[in-house]
Chain A
Amino acid sequence: MKVLMFGWEFPPFKSGGLGTACYDLTKGLSRQGIKVTFVMPKAPEGAEAEFVNLLGTNNYLKNVKIRTVDSPLLAYNTSESYADYMRRYKILGTKGDVAYGEDLHSEVQRFSEIAKVIAEQEGHDVIHAHDWMAYRAGINAKKVSGKPLVCHIHATEFDRTGNNPNYHISHKEFEGLKEADLVIANSNYTKQNIINQYMIDPKKIKVVHWGIDPENPHYQGDYTSKMSDHDKIVLFLGRVTLQKGPDYFLQTAKKVLAYVPNTKFVVAGSGDMLAWMIEKSAEMEITNNMVFTGFLKGKEVHDAYKMADLFVMPSVSEPFGLTAIESIKNGTPVILSKNSGASEVLTNVLKVDFWDIDEMTNKIVGSLKYRNLYNELRDNSLVEADNFNLDVPAKKVIDAYNHAISYAGGVS
């Protein structure tokens, strides 16, 4: 089976979980003998050498072909961040040979047009598009090849914006989900969201919970921070944006410090609320207990998990939350928002309502103070993490392809 896949990011060009998900999915599919052509926009000043190198050394990706389209699009772009990027690009830009779209939406449109050409060139049995920016590309490809379209939803616009969607984006999202022959949602939580928000027929939604790549060498080894000599470390890791609940993290930190004064709260990631968070922590007079690392990638991410005593994910809305499983795999127990897909599949974690600062405090203090609780959580969740790999989700996705093909009629 051949898959034509449209995505947004792929390591090392990534700003979030979507890149990891796409990389792991293509790796998983490849291991099952599925051929994938992965089409993605390419950042103009991208580190291409590193990228190619990465592919070259990985045997499992032998069935994966990458095609890039010159574009400054990044996953999690908003209209504002795209405009901001274009302003900077115009000042600093050196490449004059590609005509980028004037705004985010015309750029998405341009990418979608190119998809038609690629669909003609690349043979395929099924089209697979990841999140809203790729949906139109998927729809266009389907127009050309007539092959079934599978739209994969990793996060909805409602998740990203705390229910204040940009209607251009939510419309594109709706359009993709509606046109799709089959929709893959990364959790029951997400499935319910798209049923509620877009009235997508539940019958055509298949839930595929995500896995991790246990062979990732970053899970090996130890990393200890000097901070651990005197302090407990509580980690926030992810985009620092409304969706991830950084404000709840700060309020909780303040409360925890009354009980466990020697705690460092590490915020790993960047995002539109980072500056706010730094200012706010000064205002709350907890600056000495806050550590901001900025955006981390690769091994740094895993080191952050490893040095932490506890990983807290206070997300307002977390369609899946792969980081929870990554943290566990690195030996760090997790406190997880109930509004997450991961909480559907993890049992040996502490679960909280993101708004319940008191309960989050209670659980953090308990985890830091009660050594036996901590040990049980860590040991039992580590065992549980063995249930997660790339093969299970890949097989489910292949299953979904077969369904989509049988709905649409016949394999070529």
Chain B
Amino acid sequence: MVSVCIYFQVHQPFRIKKYRVFDIGHSHDYFDEKKNREVCEKVAKKCYLPANKILLDLINNTDGKFKVAFSISGTAIEQFEKYTPEVLDSFKELAKTGKVEFLNETYYHSLAFLYDKDEFKRQVKKHKYKMKELFNFTPTIFRNTELVYNNELAFHVEKMGYDAILAEGADHILDWRSPNFLYTPKTCKKLKLMLKNYKLSDDIAFRFSNKGWEGWPLTSEKFADWVSNNNGNGEVVNLFMDYETLGEHQWEDTGIFDFLKKMPWEILKHHDNEFLLPSEVIKKYEPKAELDIHNFISWADVERDLTAWLGNGMQRAASKELYLIGEVVKQSGDENLIKDWELLTTSDHFYYMCTKWFADGDVHKYFNPYDSPYDSYINFMNVLNDIIIRLKEKAQINKIASAKNTKLKKPFEISERPSSLVLDHVS
């Protein structure tokens, strides 16, 4: 008996537009409306709409034997609302079948857990409400941005009332153990841990169109065999991947949609097999062992760690400074300012600053709207400096309102330590 659990990640960031030093203090318009719309429309056409249609047909034609889970970031949803409402409708359509589960994540697809636990909880809650509002679904299972995970996260997530959490089945934490069972995080009592079967997941997500790969071409029959081979040495095969794999990373002409149409039927041909939603998996199976994962893991790159977002000094400085001003931003009571700050917490902005393998020109480049990680850092820091100015102005206004205080200081200083400046002014 093998249960197959499929979860797709749906995410689009609000990319920042070209924001130069001249714009600091003059323009508070940070996001690239045109680019974001273009990408959203393109991916809707190439991936979201055709893939949702196929999944809906599969659910209907298999009488609900096929089922699937999604985690849709809040920023992706906002873009669907703005640019491609038909995509949102098609997700609602899927939700109505009752065979689709929605997972909970940070609304802004952020790494807030690493810097600010309160902000993390706030964003998770915001996302939970959004799922309820849109799909009338209350998630019970949590997945953190990019499957970033460790003991401490599990501890907090259990306290927040979730039944299970998802993580990468990274070799270096599993060792001889199989990802095809449930585990219990060392720091938890009840929370169940579901691990991604990265070999089978990546066969689809990364290797599907790779003609140099020994498994190429990957047929649905072949894949179903590989999945069924786990019979006897595992209970559940977790196939976790970016939804954009379908039609966007793997283009339609690679045959990915044909594969998607046939694969569930091939898997169901083996009578012992079934598809389960994450919430069904954790009802059906019990954890086999405890897993002690002290250091953060993720599903990114071969390292499966945080280095894609926090591997260099630029990334660490930008993140740290952003979160340091978070509290003050929220205290400002300025809704636009808060929204802009929140949109900056999206992890993609830090991913763009990654210099790891930059010289080789790899997968990071494909998703990167910038010429180089250095350009993205300059852009981000320029925006952050403008946020500081707005904060200062806000603080001044508040002060003036209370004590009729001094005028704004000009010219401003560009600083990499904006937080200290801001805190000086506000406290």
CB distance from B18 to the nearest CB of A (A): 8
In the complex, the answer to whether B372 meets A376 with C-beta atoms within 8 Å is: no
Query: Which of these, A365, A369, A372, contacts B313 with CB under 8 Å?
Result: A372
Complex CA–CA separation, A362 to B385 (angstroms): 13
**1/0 contact trace for A344-359 toward B, CB 8 Å?**
0001101100000011
Of A259, A351, A361, which one neighbours B371 at CB under 8 angstroms?
A351
- A178 at interface, CB cutoff 8 A: no
Contact status of A373 and B359, CB under 8 A, knowing A350-B372, A351-B371, A358-B20: no
CB distance from B179 to the nearest CB of A (A): 35
A203 near B: Cβ within 8 Å? no
Q: Is the CB of B21 within 8 A of A366?
A: yes
- Given the complex of chains A and B, what is the CA–CA distance between A314 and B316 in angstroms? 31
Chain B residues in 8 Å Cβ range of A373: 314, 374, 377-378, 381
Q: Is A380 an interface residue (CB 8 A)?
A: yes
The verdict on A376 contacting B20 (CB below 8 Å), with A347-B372, A366-B382 known, is no
* Residues of chain A contacted by B372 (CB below 8 angstroms): 347, 350-351
Per-residue CB contact flags for chain B residues 297-323 toward chain A (1 = under 8 Å, else 0) read: 000000000000000111011100000
Interface residue tally of chain B, by bracket? 20 to 34
Residues from chain A with a CB closer than 8 A to the CB of B144 are none
Residues A376 and B355 in contact in the complex (CB < 8 Å), given A366-B378, A366-B382: yes
B window 361-416: CB within 8 A of A: 361, 371-375, 377-378, 381-382, 414-416
For B375, list chain A residues within 8 Å (CB): 350, 363
Q: Is residue A384 within 8 Å, beta carbon to beta carbon, of the partner chain?
A: yes
Across the interface, which residues of A come within 8 angstroms of B20, CB to CB?
358-359, 361-362
A88 within 8 A of B: no
| Residue from B21, B414, B415 whose CB has the most chain A CB atoms within 10 Å | B21
Query: Do the beta carbons of A376 and B359 come within 8 Å of each other?
Result: no
Task: Type the 1/0 row for A327-361, where 1 means its CB is closer than 8 Å to any CB of B.
Answer: 00000000000000000000110110000001101
Say yes or no: is A377 at the interface (Cβ < 8 Å to chain B). yes
Tell me what chain A mostly uses at the interface: helix, strand, loop, or mixed. helix
Q: Are A347 and B358 interface neighbours, CB within 8 A?
A: yes
- A251 to B39: give the CA distance in the assembly, Å: 36
CB distance from B131 to the nearest CB of A (A): 37
Cβ–Cβ contact B414 & A348, under 8 A? no
Q: In this complex, what residue of B is CB-closest to A346? A: B359
A92 CB, nearest partner CB in chain B, Å: 50
**Residues in A whose Cβ lies below 8 Å from that of B316:** 372
A370 contacts B416, C-beta separation under 8 Å: yes
Interface residues of A in 366-384 (CB under 8 A from B): 366, 369-373, 375-377, 380, 384
Interface size on A, residues (CB 8 A): 22
**How far does the alpha carbon of A193 sit from the alpha carbon of B115 in the complex, in Å?**
51
A384–B372 Cα distance when bound, in Å, is 15
- Interface flags for B409-427 (1: CB within 8 Å of A; 0: not) read 0000011100000000000
Interface pair A350/B374, CB less than 8 Å apart: yes
B359 nearest in chain A by CB position: A347
Residue from A351, A369, A375 having most chain B Cβ neighbours under 10 A? A369
Q: Are B416 and A361 in touch, CB under 8 angstroms?
A: no
A214, B349: Cα distance in complex, Å: 37
B176 adjacent to chain A (CB < 8 Å): no
The answer for the CA separation of A351 and B414 in the assembled complex, in Å, is 22
Chain B residues lying within 8 Å of A365, measured Cβ to Cβ, are 21, 414
**B373: chain A residues within 8 A (beta carbon):** 376
In the assembled complex, the Cα of A366 lies from the Cα of B23 at a distance in Å of 13
Q: Are A370 and B313 in contact (CB under 8 A)?
A: no
B361: min CB distance to chain A, Å = 8
Of all chain B residues, which has the CB nearest A347? B359
Residue from the list A347, A361, A369 in contact with B414, Cβ < 8 A: A369
B415 proximity list for chain A (CB < 8 A): 369
List the A side residues contacting B378 at CB < 8 Å: 362-363, 366, 370, 373
CB distance from B355 to the nearest CB of A (A): 6
Q: What chain A residues lie within 8 Å of B377 (beta carbons)? A: 366, 370, 372-373, 376
A105 to chain B, nearest CB (A): 43
Residues of B close to A348: CB separation below 8 A: 355, 358-359, 374
> Nearest chain-A residue to B19 (Cβ)?
A362
Which partner residue on chain B sits nearest A368 by CB separation? Answer: B414
- Identify which of A351, A366, A369, A370 gathers the most chain B CB atoms within 10 Å of its CB: A370
* B271-285 interface code vs A (CB 8 A; 1 in, 0 out): 000000000000000
**Complex partner residue of A259 from B21, B312, B318, CB under 8 angstroms:** B21
CA of A363 to CA of B62, assembled, Å: 57
Bound: A363/B316 CA distance, A: 20
Q: How far is the CA of A365 from the CA of B19 in the complex (A)?
A: 13
A375 to B355, CA, bound (A): 12
Instruction: Choose from B21, B22, B313, B416 the contact partner of A376 (Cβ within 8 Å).
Output: B313
What are 27 A-B contacts with C-beta separation under 8 Å? Answer: A347-B358, A347-B361, A347-B372, A350-B372, A350-B374, A351-B371, A351-B372, A358-B20, A361-B20, A362-B20, A365-B21, A365-B414, A369-B414, A369-B415, A369-B416, A370-B377, A371-B416, A372-B313, A372-B317, A372-B318, A372-B377, A373-B377, A373-B381, A376-B355, A376-B377, A380-B355, A384-B359
6 A-B pairs with the lowest CB-CB distances in the bound complex, closest first: A366-B378, A362-B20, A372-B317, A372-B313, A365-B21, A369-B414
20 more CB-based (< 8 A) A-B contacts, given A348-B358, A373-B381, A376-B355: A259-B21, A347-B359, A348-B359, A351-B371, A358-B20, A359-B20, A361-B22, A362-B21, A362-B22, A369-B414, A370-B416, A372-B314, A372-B317, A373-B377, A373-B378, A375-B313, A377-B374, A380-B355, A380-B358, A384-B359
Q: Which residues of B contact A (CB under 8 A)?
A: 20-22, 312-314, 316-318, 355, 358-359, 361, 371-375, 377-378, 381-382, 414-416
